[in-house]
Amino acid sequence: MTHSATVANHEHGPAKGLSRWLFTTNHKDIGTMYLVFSLCMLFIGGAMAFVIRAELFQPGLQLIEPDFFNQMITMHGLIMVFGAVMPAFVGLANWMIPLMIGAPDMALPRLNNLSFWILPFAFLMMLSTLFMDGGGPNFGWTFYAPLSTTYAPPSVTFFIFTVHMMGLSSIMGAINVVVTILNMRAPGMTLMKMPMFCWTWLITAFLLIAVMPVLGGVVTMMLMDVHFGTSFFDAGGGGDPVLFQHVFWFFGHPEVYIMILPSFGVVSEVLPTFARKRLFGYTSMVYAIVAIAVLSFVVWAHHMFTVGMPLAGELFFMYTTMLIAVPTGVKIFNWVSTMFKSSMTFETPMLFALAFVILFTVGGLSGIMLALAPVDFVYHDTYFVVAHFHYVLVPGAIFGIFAAVYYWLPKWCGRMYDESIAKLHFWLSFIGLNITFFPMHFVGLAGMPRRIPDYSLQFADFNMIISMGAFLFGMSQLVFVYNLFKTLRSGEKSAHRPWEGAHGLEWTVETPAPYHTFATPPKVD
């Protein structure tokens, strides 16, 4: 695929000062804001993880009381899911989709600005609940009723409003992505010529539009139960707590694919570049993403195997959940085939992408184990599940984000990051996360439940190791921040195409990318 380079439009540069950021409609600025916001949230959520692991370092209650512990695990989950992972991917979408499809900006720039600015406001509200009377949300990020309705602290109302706002932000962002991708591709760029990152975001955006409103619905039902005397989830009024779980997980399961699909897209960009070889099986990869997205709608009750479903229900959800392994496996095999008989170098983005393939597979395999309903009776609500989802989210989603940031940072800021420091960040993170999350499989199998601030003595040794790993992993992220500052201040100037094997429209613009790009669409054949 050849393409002509475009001349950046220098009619006017960005505004100056705070108003630049408050009122910008520029996809690059908005992308940057999402990414900075997400990094801040990563540290806040990470600080909560520190508190959790500090308390779990030894048996007994040393530092905090159980109710505050429950607030920490709840907020850690909410912040990481809705504040760190999702906004990071939206930030990447904002920065890269227009550049990858040869568009001057997103289709709905003002909506884009609103979508971002809702978030700091929403999270300020959510974090402030920790200081309210009765404390913040303490019912888990999955907030099952009636613990989150009848038995919730007063701050639950603010929690509900926060979710409404985050949901609106995500839905509007997703609409923006779909409209941009479907309408603004450069002439000649058919859907099947589009970069994989754009494909994964297109599908992710459809998932967001379909399921975030359902989350909005379920928290509205909660609001009505708490304040307006309805009984959606209260058996006394004719309702059913299990209804909550069905509606929540109808959102919740596609949500976890929303969190991983863009990461798949990043890996599909990074691996071919550093392997100097085209992505293997592009068409199958596209079909696999679509299959995963469609299947994600019919597996939700695998989170509810112990709720008392009849046999037919358990079997149905067991089979559909096992089925999702097929398109996922196809993707992994395609990535390995991309590497096979290639010519690889191992710069930091590649290291993160390779670690993704290995460790996401580990998480995916524990997922197959969890899919088997009768064995899930033993795994459910234990640390085995915690291990599983942290493997798919940390070396899965988060490593995808790091790979993307290292990969595209030179284009964003015109400077090359320090490769040695970056590699240090990678190795410390890799070692740290494995020390943290691998032993969780063991304690979970040995019988340690989730969401407990104190545990019986036979789990002590592994928990100490897990906490040490967590501290290592957390501190390693400071290496990343240091590298970021060092790069922005004094990094070596980067070439337009710093990676030899990189192909794609984004590499044809100047480095750093000019404020406005592709004012005239490039020709793609």
Cis check: omega of the bond before 146, within 30 degrees of 0: yes
* Greatest pairwise CA separation for the chain in angstroms: 68
Indicate the residue among 42 and 440 with the shorter CB distance to other proteins.
Answer: 440
Burial class, 358, CB count within 10 angstroms (exposed 0-12 / middle 13-18 / buried 19+)? exposed
* φ/ψ of residue 415, rounded to 5: -125, 145
Closest contact distance (angstroms) between CB of 191 and other proteins is: 11
Asked if 259 and 86 touch (Cβ cutoff 8 Å), the reply is yes
Closest contact distance (angstroms) between CB of 362 and other proteins is: 7
Asked if 200 and 262 touch (Cβ cutoff 8 Å), the reply is yes
Cα 415–404–282 angle (5° rounding)?
130
Asked if 174 and 212 touch (Cβ cutoff 8 Å), the reply is yes
For residue 138, what are its two tokens? 């303490």
Could you count the other beta carbons within 10 Å of the beta carbon of residue 504? 19
Q: Which of residues 167-186 bind other proteins (CB under 8 A)?
A: 171, 174-176, 178-179, 182-183
Out of 18, 133, 190, 489, the only residue in the binding site for other proteins (CB under 8 A) is 133
Q: Choose, from 24, 169, 263, 273, the residue flagged as catalytic.
A: 169
Indicate the residue among 200 and 361 with the shorter CB distance to other proteins.
Answer: 361
Q: Choose, from 328, 476, 487, 508, the residue flagged as catalytic.
A: 328
Q: Does 310 engage in binding with other proteins (CB under 8 A)? A: yes
Q: Does 502 engage in binding with other proteins (CB under 8 A)? A: no
Whether 185 sits among the annotated catalytic residues: the reply is: no
Length of the chain: 525
Closest contact distance (angstroms) between CB of 196 and other proteins is: 13
Stretch that binds other proteins, among 389-397, 448-456, 507-515, 516-524 (CB under 8 A): 448-456
Whether 268 sits among the annotated catalytic residues: the reply is: yes
Out of 13, 14, 134, 187, the only residue in the binding site for other proteins (CB under 8 A) is 134
Q: Does 420 engage in binding with other proteins (CB under 8 A)? A: no
Closest contact distance (angstroms) between CB of 145 and other proteins is: 8
Q: Which of residues 259-278 bind other proteins (CB under 8 A)?
A: 275-278
Out of 50, 159, 201, 232, the only residue in the binding site for other proteins (CB under 8 A) is 232
Whether 337 sits among the annotated catalytic residues: the reply is: no
Q: Which of residues 21-40 bind other proteins (CB under 8 A)?
A: none
Q: In Å, how far from its chain's centre is CA 227?
A: 32
Q: Choose, from 6, 268, 321, 436, the residue flagged as catalytic.
A: 268
Q: Which of residues 100-129 bind other proteins (CB under 8 A)?
A: 107-108, 111
Indicate the residue among 79 and 413 with the shorter CB distance to other proteins.
Answer: 79
Sign of CA dihedral 462, 463, 466, 471: negative
Size of the site for other proteins (CB under 8 A): 133
Closest contact distance (angstroms) between CB of 223 and other proteins is: 13
Indicate the residue among 85 and 215 with the shorter CB distance to other proteins.
Answer: 215
Stretch that binds other proteins, among 58-66, 407-415, 417-425, 467-475 (CB under 8 A): 58-66
Q: Which of residues 61-100 bind other proteins (CB under 8 A)?
A: 61-62, 65-67, 70
Q: Which of residues 375-394 bind other proteins (CB under 8 A)?
A: 375, 377-378, 380-382
Q: Choose, from 3, 53, 185, 331, the residue flagged as catalytic.
A: 331
Whether 450 sits among the annotated catalytic residues: the reply is: yes
The identity of residue 417, as a single letter, is: Y
Q: Does 192 engage in binding with other proteins (CB under 8 A)? A: no
Distance of alpha carbon 199 from alpha carbon 336, whole angstroms: 20
Residue 3 DSSP SS3: strand
Closest contact distance (angstroms) between CB of 442 and other proteins is: 4
Q: Does 407 engage in binding with other proteins (CB under 8 A)? A: no
Stretch that binds other proteins, among 38-46, 256-264, 336-344, 472-480 (CB under 8 A): 336-344
Closest contact distance (angstroms) between CB of 380 and other proteins is: 6
Distance of alpha carbon 491 from alpha carbon 105, whole angstroms: 27
Sign of CA dihedral 414, 98, 337, 326: positive
Q: Choose, from 170, 263, 429, 517, the residue flagged as catalytic.
A: 170
Distance of alpha carbon 311 from alpha carbon 305, whole angstroms: 10
Q: Which of residues 194-223 bind other proteins (CB under 8 A)?
A: 209-218, 220-221
* φ/ψ of residue 65, rounded to 5: -90, 160
Helix or strand holding residue 416 (H, E): strand 415-416
Would you state the torsion angle of the CA atoms of residues 332, 335, 336, 340, taken in this order, to the nearest 10 degrees?
Answer: 160
Whether 302 sits among the annotated catalytic residues: the reply is: yes
Q: Choose, from 3, 28, 302, 380, the residue flagged as catalytic.
A: 302
**In 401-518, beta strands by DSSP E:** 415-416, 492-493
Residue 234 DSSP SS3: coil
Stretch that binds other proteins, among 15-23, 414-422, 454-462, 479-487 (CB under 8 A): 454-462
Question: What secondary structure letter does DSSP report for 96?
Answer: H
Distance of alpha carbon 77 from alpha carbon 100, whole angstroms: 32
Distance of alpha carbon 512 from alpha carbon 494, whole angstroms: 8
Q: Does 329 engage in binding with other proteins (CB under 8 A)? A: yes
Question: What secondary structure letter does DSSP report for 524?
Answer: B
Whether 461 sits among the annotated catalytic residues: the reply is: no
Asked if 91 and 38 touch (Cβ cutoff 8 Å), the reply is yes
The residue behind tokens 């033993």 is 378
Q: Which residues are catalytic?
A: 76, 105, 141, 169-170, 253, 255, 257, 268, 302-303, 328, 331, 450
